[in-house]
Amino acid sequence: MATEKPVTPTEEQLEILEYNFCKVNKHPDPTTLCLIAAETGLSEEQTLKWFKQRLAEWRKSEGLPSECGSVRD
Residue-number span of the structural domain to which 48 is assigned: 14-55
| Euclidean distance between CA atoms 51 and 36, whole angstroms | 11
Domain membership flag for residue 65: no
Domain membership flag for residue 50: yes
Predicted pLDDT at 33:
96
Query: Does the CA dihedral 54-41-48-23 come out positive or negative?
Result: positive
CB–CB of 24/31 below 8 Å? no
Domain membership flag for residue 62: no
Q: Inform me whether the pLDDT recorded for 73 exceeds 50.
A: no
pLDDT (tens digit per residue) in 29-57: 999 999 999 999 999 999 999 999 999 99
Domain membership flag for residue 31: yes
Number of domains in the chain: 1
Predicted pLDDT at 67:
65
CB–CB of 17/23 below 8 Å? no
Indicate which CATH number applies to the domain containing 23.
Answer: 1.10.10.60
Please tell me the pTM assigned to this model.
0.77
Domain membership flag for residue 61: no
Query: Does the CA dihedral 69-58-50-53 come out positive or negative?
Result: negative
Residue type, 3: T
